[in-house]
């Protein structure tokens, strides 16, 4: 079955960077974009950006531009999201999700909790 | 890009129908038929319920339906059941080749 499995929880200090991985299985990895979405505690979903595993092309929400780097390794069907210059308000669960066309996200990874605290 | 506007909460009794609105702009909801809806139970990843305004993925109950008029999309849940109690989010593609989610709606089954 189609599945996205993310890396484990992280605790980081303010100013540091974090990298979350997302390993895909059950489909052709380069065929569909991978999106990154985050959810702060008790808050709503926030779209962060996408990467095309085929071309490596990316696009991100203006809010994250300059701080987010999305990459992929097609040899191991894995996408990565690095967020730099972390602040306490970056504390959130980070999800990856497969994009379907220009339209919807399915399935989603299980989520990765990132805590930013001094 | 501002979040799409949803009501914070909607409630209904078992068997009733409820509708959740999702208001955007002419640069997102109004521009494309790329609106999707997600159900999220506490501590879980979101699950797609409707895509491209009104299409249901395989396995999603036909009690869920979607529509759009202008800059506002809507999700209707008919025959409300206890298991429908969850948070719901809309999402839309935008003219910047980005995406935006709604503010989220908590559905309560009375």
**CA nearest A109 in B: which residue?**
B45
Distance CA B43, CA B91 (A): 20
In the sheet that holds A78-83, the strands lie side by side as: A3-6, A18-25, A78-83, A68-73
Give me the residue from B36, B47, B104 closest to A103, CB to CB: B36
Q: What angle do CA A110, A24, A43 make, to 5 degrees?
A: 30
- Could you report the per-residue pLDDT of B57-98, keeping only the tens digit for each? 999 999 999 999 999 999 999 999 999 999 999 999 999 999
Q: How confident is the model at residue A103 (pLDDT cuts 50, 70, 90)?
A: confident
Q: Report the pLDDT averaged over residues B4-23.
A: 98
Taking an 8 Å cut-off on Cβ atoms, the answer to whether B34 and A103 are in contact is yes
Least confident of A8-12, A24-28, A98-102, B9-13: A98-102
> Which pLDDT does position A60 carry in this prediction?
96
Q: Report the pLDDT averaged over residues B87-110.
A: 97
3-state secondary structure of A83: strand
H/E segment holding residue B27 = none
> Which pLDDT does position B1 carry in this prediction?
78
The answer to whether residue A61 neighbours chain B at the CB level (below 8 Å) is yes
Residues of A in contact with B48 (CB under 8 A): 104-106
> Which pLDDT does position A50 carry in this prediction?
96
- Could you report the per-residue pLDDT of B28-47, keeping only the tens digit for each? 999 999 999 999 999 999 99
Taking an 8 Å cut-off on Cβ atoms, the answer to whether A45 and B46 are in contact is yes
**Does pLDDT of A101 surpass 90?**
no
> Which pLDDT does position A102 carry in this prediction?
78
Distance CA A56, CA A88 (A): 29
Distance CA A29, CA A45 (A): 24
| Mean pLDDT computed over every residue of chain A | 97
Residues of B in contact with A105 (CB under 8 A): 36, 38, 46, 48, 91
Distance CA A21, CA A36 (A): 10
H/E segment holding residue A51 = strand A45-51
**Does pLDDT of A108 surpass 90?**
yes
Distance CA B103, CA A94 (A): 17
Q: Return all residues near B105 (Cβ < 8 A) that are at least 6 apart.
A: B6, B7, B8, B9, B10, B20, B87, B88, B89
- Could you report the per-residue pLDDT of A55-68, keeping only the tens digit for each? 999 999 999 999 99
């Amino acid at each position: 079955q189609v599945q996205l499995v993310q890396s484990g929880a992280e605790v980081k200090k303010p100013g540091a960077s974090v990298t979350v991985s997302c390993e895909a299985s059950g489909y052709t990895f380069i065929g569909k974009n991978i999106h990154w979405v985050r959810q702060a505690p008790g808050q709503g979903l926030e779209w962060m950006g996408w990467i095309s595993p085929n071309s490596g092309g990316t696009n991100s929400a203006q809010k994250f531009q300059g701080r987010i780097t999305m990459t992929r390794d097609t040899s191991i069907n894995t996408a990565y999201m690095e967020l730099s210059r972390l602040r306490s308000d970056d504390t959130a669960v980070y999800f990856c999700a497969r994009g379907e066309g220009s339209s919807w996200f399915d399935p989603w990874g299980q989520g990765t909790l990132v805590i930013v605290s001094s | 890009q501002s979040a799409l506007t949803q009501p914070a909460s909607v409630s209904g009794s078992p068997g009733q129908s409820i509708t959740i609105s999702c208001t955007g702009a002419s640069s997102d909801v109004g521009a494309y038929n790329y609106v999707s809806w997600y159900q999220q139970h506490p501590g879980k990843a979101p699950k797609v319920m409707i895509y491209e305004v009104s299409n249901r993925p395989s396995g999603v109950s036909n009690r869920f339906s979607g529509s759009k008029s202008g800059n506002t999309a809507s999700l209707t849940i008919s025959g409300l059941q206890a298991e429908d109690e969850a948070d719901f989010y809309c999402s839309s593609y935008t003219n910047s080749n980005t995406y935006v989610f709604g503010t989220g709606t908590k559905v309560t089954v009375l």
